[in-house]
Amino acid sequence: MNRAIFALVSLGIALATSAQDAPVVPDPVREIEPAELVLKLGEPRLYVFDCNEADMFQEAHVPGALLTIYDQVSTSILPDDKGADLVFYCYSPQCPAGATAARTAVSLGYTHVYCMTAGITGWMDAQLRTEP
């Protein structure tokens, strides 16, 4: 009985140690808040992609954003510079379109990919300027 307990305790320690030694793999898509994004607007290597429907885009979007269909992201619509800052967003935190588009960009080899999960509603809640 004592050997069984000792074996279980040893196994638990070994598993805990190997879990601690395992490298942490960060999510390749980084979160960006509206307040952070507004400070980056106008930077030459920044590209902002709105993944909302066309009518919502016409109503309000982040200044300079390009309307993008979230499941049709490809290198033909993205910049040649795979190190450029790419920001994707959609309507609100409940909308997965921006994150889906961002993950596609990462899979295409882009290295500085962000998702503004707050969406256009979070942008407007922060009382930031939009374009019609």
Cβ neighbours of residue 50 under 8 Å, at least 6 residues apart?
A: 57, 61, 62, 65, 66, 67, 68, 89, 90, 120
Who wins on pLDDT, 64 or 13?
64
The three-state secondary structure class of 25 is coil
Are the CB atoms for 117 and 93 separated by under 8 Å? yes
Domain ranges of the chain: 27-125
Confidence at residue 45, expressed as pLDDT on a 0 to 100 scale: 96
State the architecture of 27-125 in CATH terms. Answer: 3-Layer(aba) Sandwich (3.40)
| pLDDT, mean of residues 69-84 | 96
The number of beta carbons lying within 10 Å of the beta carbon of residue 69 is: 14
Please determine, for residue 58, whether its predicted confidence score (pLDDT) is greater than 80.
Answer: yes
Maximum CA pair distance of the chain? 74
Q: Does the structure show a pLDDT above 60 at 96? A: yes
Q: What is the pLDDT of residues 8-48, one digit of tens each?
A: 333 343 434 444 554 444 578 999 999 999 999 999 999 99
